[in-house]
Structure 1
Amino acid sequence: MASNNVVLITGANRGIGRQMAASLLLRPATTVIATVRDPAHELSKSLSDLPASEGSKIIVSVFDAKKGPDALLAALADAGIQHLNLVISNAGNSDAFRSVLETDPSALRDDFEVNAVGPFRLFQGCWPLLSKAETGSDKKFVLITSSVGSIAGMEEESFPGSRTAQARRRPTGSPRRLARSWRARGCKSASFTLGKWHFRTVCEHDTMKYN
């Protein structure tokens, strides 16, 4: 296990997370830990069918960003995972794109718990495994964020997203702070906004019907 590159991706059952898992599995000697909220869902089950390169494999594990990574870390220990080289915090949540007046504060709090607090919990929980990566190898923590949370991009967005914007805005600068604070420990951190994707939750909103 020590010679393998071990990558953990949250929210890997669909969309961006799934594609990253599929791409990384095609690299040799790579263990991909793909986390899902519902392991019984057909998309979660089908992760095990993704093609893998020689010496590579996928481990599907349960992770709920609202509850923190304790159960996930216990499952990784049971699976014999002793280190992590890369953690990709991709899991996010927002089931509505509404204006400020239509937004339920409790729903905003739920989104904040997943999208803003979740990555902090994930880094804190995964650091012991990241710190055990082989000497000389990079330790990386990557946050997948959204342009909806961008202050500079507010004028470019054409749909209401009060909940998502507030919740996504908080973690966007976190990797930059992590990069400065943990550079001496060999940890690299970055955030990526991958543009406008046809997310299921976005496409279902009346103002965002795609052809």
Structure 2
Amino acid sequence: MIAAATTTYLVTGANRGIGLGLVTTYLARPNSTIVAAVRDPNHATSKALADLPKGAGSNLIVVKIDSLSETDADQAIAELQSKYNITALDVVVANAGVASVYPAVHEAQAKDMIEHYRINVVAVPILLRAVLPLLKQSTQGAKFVTIGSVAGTIGDMEKVAVPNAAYGPSKAAVSWISRKIHFENPDLISFNVHPGWVQTEMGNKGAVAFGLESAPQTLEESISGLVKLFDGATRETSGGKFLSYDGTELVW
């Protein structure tokens, strides 16, 4: 009997929120290798990943990738190759991000805008550079997905009428980078995804700041949609697009 092919996923920001939801779902599948990239592997939330249920033939690898580091991603890939004999990546989800303040444009502080840009934007090409050689070894249609947000939309900005002058511009930049990756890498399935306004720690913090009790989308609703979207994505249907977790195409 021929052994089932293993699908290898790498998810950043993997110990909480959307990242944790993706890791939990993928790890429960059979014949899957999940690379959970976290800022601090020794944090309690990172160590707790080891207790997640695993599907038959599936395994978890935890690596350190801090979005503020210019070297962590390269070191993590080197570790995957040398220590774990990982020769290919099939799906990479650039999920790690920050949304910590919600100023109007005239209230935005330089330090906050720079922090959001550094973590939400600059970390993406650093990650891509590190993972691209292994993505090119995939035989399953390699995917590089950026987690974006309608907070960064320009064409539909009037529909997102909240002060967000640190997070919003950073997600607009992520949209540009994601689309550019699509055109620069013809063998890669790359697209940008709005996961919904999700009931995670970050999502609920934003909701409270805007006068709501909680974010509108449940984590389960978001993860279910994202996983379905990622599974079915092709370069023709998804490449270079800005999509909602439910598959709807969004305005850049």
CA distance in 2 between counterparts of 1:72 and 1:201 reads 26
Query: Counterparts of 2:104 and 2:146 in 1: how far apart (Å)?
Result: 26
Aligned residue in 2 for 1:130: 135
Alignment of 1:62-73 (within 5 A): 62-68=64-70, 69-73=73-77
Instruction: Give matches, 1:178-197, under 5 Å.
Output: 178-183=181-186, 186-197=187-198
TM-superposed deviation, 1:32: 0.5
Counterpart for residue 34 of structure 1: 36
RMSD over aligned Cα, in angstroms? 2.0
Find the counterpart in structure 2 of residue 198 from structure 1: 199
Instruction: Tell me what 1:162 maps to.
Output: 165
Distance 1:11 1:56 in 2: 20
Distance 1:37 1:208 in 2: 30
2:179 corresponds, among 167, 176, 179, to 176
1:136-175 deviation per Cα after TM superposition (whole angstroms, max 9, x unaligned): x211111111111111332222431100011111011333
C-alpha separation between the residues in 1 aligned to 2:142 and 2:26? 16
Distance 1:201 1:21 in 2: 18
Gap change, CA 1:93 and 1:115, over 3 Å in 2: same
Task: Classify the secondary structure of the residue corresponding to 2:33.
Answer: strand
- SS of the residue corresponding to residue 190 of structure 2 reads strand
Pairing partner for 1:113 from 118, 136, 152: 118
- Write the mapping of 1:51-130 to structure 2, written as runs, cut at 5 A: 51-68=53-70, 69-77=73-81, 78-130=83-135
Q: 1-side partners of 2:166 and 2:203: how far apart? A: 13
Residues 78-111 of structure 1 deviation map (CA, whole Å, 9 limit, x = unaligned)? 2222211111100111221122233221221121
* Partner amino acid, structure 1, of 2:75: A
| Aligned equivalents of 1:200, 1:98: Cα separation in 2 | 19
Do the aligned partners of 1:96 and 1:201 also contact (CA within 8 Å) in 2?
no
TM-score by length of 1: 0.89
Does the CA-based 8 Å contact 2:89-2:142 persist in structure 1? yes
**8 Å CA contact 1:202, 1:208 repeated in 2:** no
The 8 Å contact of residues 101 and 112 in structure 2, kept in 1 or not, is answered as: no
Runs of 4+ in 1 over 4 A off after TM superposition: none
SS in structure 2 of the partner of residue 133 of structure 1: coil
* Per-residue CA distance 1:104-134 (angstroms, 9 max, x = gap): 2122112111111111111111111111223
Deviation of 1:202 (Å): 4.5
Which residue identity does 2:76 align to in structure 1?
A: L
Question: Taking CA–CA contacts closer than 8 Å with sequence separation of 6 or more, which of the two structures ends up with the larger relative contact order?
Answer: 1
Q: What are the superposed Cα offsets for residues 56-94 of structure 1, whole Å, 9 maximum, x if unpaired?
A: 111111111121312222322222222111111001112
What is the identity, as a one-letter code, of the residue corresponding to 2:133?
A: P
Specify the code of the residue in structure 2 equivalent to 1:150.
Answer: T
Report the CA distance between 1:203 and its aligned residue: 2.9
Match of 1:47 in 2: 49
The one-letter code of the counterpart of 2:63 is S
